[in-house]
């Protein structure tokens, strides 16, 4: 695994997590560490990271609204330290969305697995 992130979108996501400080964001540093590990994985190559505070979207698309309409993986850090991972197929087939609530280590493996299918 290289230490370089897949593209600038991952750097932007990590920078946002770095800016979230204070009592309300105590769960973010562990999540940021998870995202940093994912960002340097071979599976992240060619994928876009889009974040809005506590939702990270990993998508094969590079622009809005394709991030949300097309297939993607959503990742949410929960206050109890677990991670909710969601797999979303293309918009017309949303009934097949799946989700898991996992420990950070198990979430990392699941996210990487799902990313290879994007």
Verify cis geometry, omega within 30 degrees of 0, for the bond prior to 65: yes
Whether 3 is covered by a domain: the verdict is: no
Whether 91 is covered by a domain: the verdict is: yes
3-state DSSP assignment of residue 89: coil
Helices then strands (H, E): number in the chain? 4, 5
pLDDT tens track of the chain, all 118 residues?
445 665 899 999 999 999 999 999 999 999 999 999 999 999 998 899 999 888 999 999 998 888 888 999 999 999 999 999 999 988 776 678 899 999 999 999 999 999 999 9
Question: Per the structure, how many domains does the chain have?
Answer: 1
pTM here is: 0.89
Domain residues for the domain of 84 are 8-116
CA–CA gap between residue 80 and residue 92 (Å, rounded) = 33
Whether 69 is covered by a domain: the verdict is: yes
- CA angle in degrees (0–180, nearest 5) for 26-116-48: 60
Whether 2 is covered by a domain: the verdict is: no
CA torsion through residues 77, 91, 67, 105, sign: positive
């Amino acid at each position: 695994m290289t230490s370089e992130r897949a593209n600038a979108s991952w750097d932007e996501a990590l920078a946002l997590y770095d800016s979230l400080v204070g009592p309300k964001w105590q769960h973010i540093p562990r999540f940021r560490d998870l995202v940093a590990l994912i960002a340097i994985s071979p599976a992240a190559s060619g994928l876009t990271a889009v974040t809005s505070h506590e939702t990270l979207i990993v998508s094969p698309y590079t622009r809005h609204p394709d991030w949300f309409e097309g297939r993607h993986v959503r990742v949410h850090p929960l206050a109890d330290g677990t991670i909710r991972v969601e797999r979303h197929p293309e918009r017309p087939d949303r009934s097949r969305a799946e989700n898991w609530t996992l420990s950070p280590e198990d979430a990392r493996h699941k996210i990487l697995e799902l990313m290879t299918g994007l």
